[in-house]
Amino acid sequence: MQSHDLTVLGELYQRYMELVYGVCLKYYKETERAKDSVMQIFEELVTKLQKHEVDNFRAWLHQLAKNHCLMQLRTPRNLKTVEFNPDAVQSGENLHLNEVLEKEENFRKMEKCLDTLTGDQQQAIRLFYLEGKCYNEIVEITGQEWNQIRSFIQNGRRNLKNCMEEKMEKG
């Protein structure tokens, strides 16, 4: 660019300096940094105008200022780093293992609680929940009445739940 062109560009830029400053201040929230960027954007403007044909200078300049600020905010000196401590994070394997161990522990507690049920309740619960039998199949297997099976399952489930809750509280 020739010095005459630079003078004309300077005069044009002067008209929009407040706009550019406002954009920079919006992004940086620091007056000194915004003022520095106003000057940097003018320097950028000289090279960018040689490469781009601009129809709407004001809108183009606004976008240039916005992009400049965003790029500055993305530079490494503006990024905060935090030291990563791998020991502070549970791995997926450990998490899965913990879930498996917890389920095994709950299963042991359930087995102990099943042993506390009456024989009929225990049998009905095992057939219904552990073997997946329906009421009618349990009636055939046990020879009990349908309503009696329903009662054994309901009472057994309630007793099992109470026992499990007690065991959970005790650990």
Does a structural domain hold residue 32? yes
Does a structural domain hold residue 156? yes
Residues 69 and 115 reside in one and the same domain: no
Does a structural domain hold residue 141? yes
Does a structural domain hold residue 140? yes
What's the rounded Cα separation, in Å, for the pair 13 and 38?
A: 10
Q: Which tens digits make up the pLDDT trace of 112-162? A: 888 888 899 989 988 888 888 888 999 999 999 999 999 999 999 899 888
Least confident among 3-17, 29-43, 65-79, 94-108: 94-108
Does a structural domain hold residue 87? no
Report in angstroms the alpha-carbon separations of 149 from 123, 130, 152, 157. Answer: 10, 15, 5, 12
143-149-151 Cα angle (round to 5): 150
Q: Which tens digits make up the pLDDT trace of 39-89? A: 999 988 888 888 888 899 999 999 999 999 998 888 766 566 566 666 555
Higher confidence at residue 117 or residue 92? Answer: 117
Q: Which domain covers residue 23, as residue numbers? A: 3-78
Does a structural domain hold residue 118? yes
Mean of the pLDDT values across residues 15-24?
Answer: 93
Q: What is the pLDDT of residue 3?
A: 62
Does a structural domain hold residue 92? no
Task: Count Cβ neighbours within 10 Å for each residue of 54-79 and write b for 16 or more, e otherwise.
Answer: eeeeeebbbebbeebbeebeeeeeee
Number of domains in the chain: 2
Handedness of CA 45, 48, 54, 59 (dihedral sign): negative
Does a structural domain hold residue 90? no
